[in-house]
Amino acid sequence: MCSSVTRRRFLELTSLGVFGPSLSGWLAPLAARAADSKARTKSCILLWMDGGPSHKDTFDMKPGTKDAGEFQPIATSVPGMQISEHLPETAKVMHQGVIVRSMSTGEGAHGRAKYYLHTGYREGQGGLVHPSLGAIVSKELGREEFPLPNFVTIGNRSYGAGFLGPKHQPLTVSDPARGVESLKAAVGGSRFDQRLGLLEEMEAGFYRQYRSSAAFDHHTTYRRAVQLMQSREAQAFDLTREPAAYREKYGTGRFAESCLLARRLIEVGVPFVEVSLSGWDTHQNNFSRVKALSQQIDRPMSTLVQDLHERGLLDSTLVIWMGEFGRTPKINSRGTEPGRDHYPRAWSLVLFGGGIKAGQVIGKTDAEGATVEDRPVSAIDFLATVCRILGIDYNKQNESSIGRPIRIVDKGANPIKELF
């Protein structure tokens, strides 16, 4: 006897014609509805600085204090706001952004911290794998009929859909310059259709006999792939279609190409894109590495903000720059050059666009950047804030695979009211 969840899935598949005699369930009705669908109001680009960037050497400078380091602060487009000298282009667009200098999140191990900041739940909590922010956005703001995935990650593989299932799993693009390389069918149109028909018949027979959730998941994955292969929107993955002038504005390198691809995907309707840049785990050689990484992100990130603004997309697109924690205010003596260690107690992140009240600094750390002195922001406060910016009810409950209701953001969250 199949479960009620499985029965609902079967009815959903049947209504789409998936297990019928034709290919109609694979693509045609969805493509037809896509043209008439309503545009989303909000989207999000997460620029994830994997490893945890040093707040004291980027967006919360402490010149003249102990262990301040060798970097100097520079003025930004916001009077009184200063950031690192190695982010000069970003400094020019800070009137479009907000620095939150009072993050305090408690998890100091990379894996646990990344999970916590992506999902708002501690790893292993409740015995579940929780959906990441991208999967939540896919479910709450994504469009069923949209031919592209509603959640795309560029660079490192990120956290996925958890108990929300494969429908909201991200498409991972390893190399933005190469895009999605397997979009072209290995055989011609009629043979491709015949193979899809055969696959559909086989899946229908298997499902009728076993009523397995795995059959639904398998079909979902293939259906998404076919939609993507036959969609016009898939051209967004091809950076060679971008005018040379805009490619030059973003600069060269993997992160620059990733930011450009993120803008192209947001422009065609993908609601959530995560771009990952690793290398921020600076236990050794902190200053040379942070300088190089800052120079790597400066031009692409500032261009992304300007480009979205020029296209009328910045107010509806939230851009987040963050990692899983900050680095110790105290410099260690390991390696040929000093470094900084993990530090979740006090750190910074930056927000641009999304309709927030820009041009301000929220929160404050002490003179050494070691303790939050004003307006502490927790992981769940942050996730609730992002949900509110995007128009998602963070108190809403989703049903886990075993039928248990789970809140989008755990209880006790307080969104950052100063942003609204």
218 — pLDDT class (breaks 50, 70, 90): low
pLDDT at 301 over 90: yes
Q: What is the DSSP letter of 369?
A: S
pLDDT at 111 over 90: yes
**Collapsed DSSP state (helix, strand, coil) of residue 290:** helix
67 vs 25, which has greater pLDDT? 67
CA distance 154 to 264: 12
Q: Would you state the pLDDT for residue 72?
A: 97
- For residue 130, what are its two tokens? 């929780």
195 vs 49, which has greater pLDDT? 49
CB contact set of 84 (below 8 Å; sequence gap of 6+) = 57, 58, 59, 61, 71, 72, 73, 74, 294
CA distance 10 to 1: 13
pLDDT at 299 over 70: yes
**Of 123, 144, 300, 113, residue with least CA distance to 220:** 144
Q: Would you state the pLDDT for residue 8?
A: 47
Beta strands in 30-111 (DSSP E): 43-49, 73-75, 82-84, 97-103
pLDDT at 253 over 80: yes
pLDDT at 224 over 80: no
- For residue 180, what are its two tokens? 């999605």
Q: Would you state the pLDDT for residue 183?
A: 58
Render pLDDT for 226-242 as a digit per residue (tens, 0 to 9). 565 556 667 889 999 99
- Report the range of poorest mean pLDDT among 145-149, 188-192, 313-317, 351-355: 188-192
CA distance 18 to 196: 11
79 vs 208, which has greater pLDDT? 79
CA distance 254 to 202: 41
pLDDT at 208 over 50: yes
**Of 391, 387, 405, residue with least CA distance to 414:** 387
The domain 44-131+151-161+238-419: what is its CATH number?
3.40.720.10
Give the β-pairing of 82-84 and 73-75. Answer: antiparallel
Q: Is the pTM of this model over 0.75?
A: yes
pLDDT at 409 over 60: yes
Cβ 273 vs Cβ 46: under 8 Å:
yes
Sorted by where each begins, the domain ranges of the chain are 44-131+151-161+238-419
Render pLDDT for 254-265 as a digit per residue (tens, 0 to 9). 999 999 999 999
pLDDT at 350 over 90: yes
Q: Average pLDDT, stretch 302-309?
A: 98
